[in-house]
Amino acid sequence: MGEFELIQRFFTRPTPQAVLGVGDDCALLQMAPGMQLAVSTDMLVAQRHFFAATDPHRLGHKALAVNLSDLAACGARPLAFTLALALPEADATWLEPFSQGLLALADAHGCELIGGDTTQGPLNICITVFGEVPVGAAQRPGQPATLALLRSGAQPGDDIYVSGTLGDARLALEALQGRMDLPDAVLNVARQRLEQPTPRVALGLALRGVASAAADISDGLLGDLGHILQCSGVGATLDTGIAINLLATQAYFTRASIPFNYMLSPQLALQCVLAGGDDYELVFTAPAAQRAAVQAASAASATPVTRIGQIDAAPGLRLVDGHGAPVANTFTSFDHFKA
């Protein structure tokens, strides 16, 4: 199978929204009046971001999901994407499920594959997504005139929220790399989160005009919230008593039926939640006056959200337990696993 047959067979599809899709030197997108183009790129490199033996259907899903997650974080509606692919060989038994996983998620979000590049080389998947977001009034002087959710809008007193569940992807990674033992039922739940993350596109759209700042959680909650704090020039206090319950698989461990050698320490659970990475949930801030609106956005997008802290004027990130007592922040790295 040659390069062009490969593109034709697996990556050429009708593109009813785009003016021009795969097959010419450029694709063409028509922006609607009053809309800005939101653009983001994410690269997945074999062995660094995923195991080469990963189920190709799941890998196709994840490669696009991590990109859609960036659009979600900006409150942008997905329009289209390009796919730059380096492949060791043109293997139809790999390409078929890969393209199916990729295009199924694309269809679910109305996001059209409009072009790309294909080359022989070590497995590497690079996607660029294009989305649209309405022009809007600048939130403050010096801010861009957009309705996009930015990292720079958090204000002292704002609530901090996260969507969905956190930490399970990291738990799965620890188990798959042999650093911990998980019962099969738990590993299956956690592995789903690692390999098939859910981009929170509908929530991002519903939060436009409600959230003051947002980011998606790809490197861990503390790190990605840290970006919001840095860009907004503020600090924050987070409640670890709430955070620990964000681990979806935590429920399994609190059941008496799990054998002792599988028990997850609170420290390890918190590490996964606070610094795990690969979650692809949203962390966002909103003024306290918007609590009802945040709940409405959550309901409208069928996406659970949890309020986990507050933005402070004082810089820095403070962790407290369920009683408000300080908790030492030892969660910024995963060295504990390597001990």
Judged by the rule CB under 5 A, the positions of this chain that interact with Mg ion are 117
Rounded to a whole number of angstroms, the minimum distance from the CB of residue 6 to ligand ADP is 8
Rounded to a whole number of angstroms, the minimum distance from the CB of residue 81 to Mg ion is 16
Rounded to a whole number of angstroms, the minimum distance from the CB of residue 31 to Mg ion is 25
Interface with ligand ADP (CB under 6 A), residue from 65, 66, 73, 83: 83
DSSP H helices, the chain, are 3-11, 56-74, 92-108, 168-176, 184-195, 201-206, 221-232, 240-243, 250-254, 266-275, 291-300, 335-338
Rounded to a whole number of angstroms, the minimum distance from the CB of residue 218 to ligand ADP is 23
- Calpha distance 287→310 (Å, rounded): 10
Interface with ligand ADP (CB under 6 A), residue from 18, 44, 85, 215: 85
Q: Is the CB of 115 or the CB of 197 nearer to ligand ADP?
A: 115
- Under the criterion CB under 6 A, does residue 22 sit at the interface with ligand ADP? yes
Cβ neighbours for 281, distance < 8 A, ≥ 6 positions apart: 162, 163, 164, 165, 166, 200, 216, 217
Determine the interface stretch with ligand ADP among 22-30, 126-134, 140-148, 218-226 (rule: CB under 6 A).
Answer: 22-30
The 237-266 contact track toward ligand ADP, x by CB under 6 A, reads ------------------------------
Q: Is the CB of 107 or the CB of 117 nearer to Mg ion?
A: 117
Interface with ligand ADP (CB under 6 A), residue from 14, 16, 25, 324: 25
- Calpha distance 59→101 (Å, rounded): 7
- Calpha distance 258→246 (Å, rounded): 19
Rounded to a whole number of angstroms, the minimum distance from the CB of residue 280 to ligand ADP is 22
CB under 5 to 8 A by kind: which of ligand ADP, Mg ion, none does 335 bind? none
CB under 5 to 8 A by kind: which of Mg ion, ligand ADP, none does 172 bind? none
Residues 103-122 that bind ligand ADP (CB under 6 A): 113, 115-118
Encoding tokens for residue 258? Answer: 């799990």
- Backbone Cα Rg of the chain: 21
- Calpha distance 40→111 (Å, rounded): 14
Rounded to a whole number of angstroms, the minimum distance from the CB of residue 23 to Mg ion is 12
CB under 5 to 8 A by kind: which of ligand ADP, Mg ion, none does 83 bind? ligand ADP
Residues 148-207 that bind ligand ADP (CB under 6 A): none
Q: What is the DSSP string of 198-246?
A: ---HHHHHHTTTT-SEEEEESS-HHHHHHHHHHHHT-EEEEEHHHHGGG
- The count of residues interacting with ligand ADP (CB under 6 A) is 13
CB under 5 to 8 A by kind: which of Mg ion, ligand ADP, none does 116 bind? ligand ADP
Strand partners, 319: 238, 327
Encoding tokens for residue 209? Answer: 């005009």
Cα-Cα end-to-end distance for the chain: 48
- Interface residue list for ligand ADP (CB under 6 A): 7, 11, 22-25, 83, 85, 113, 115-118
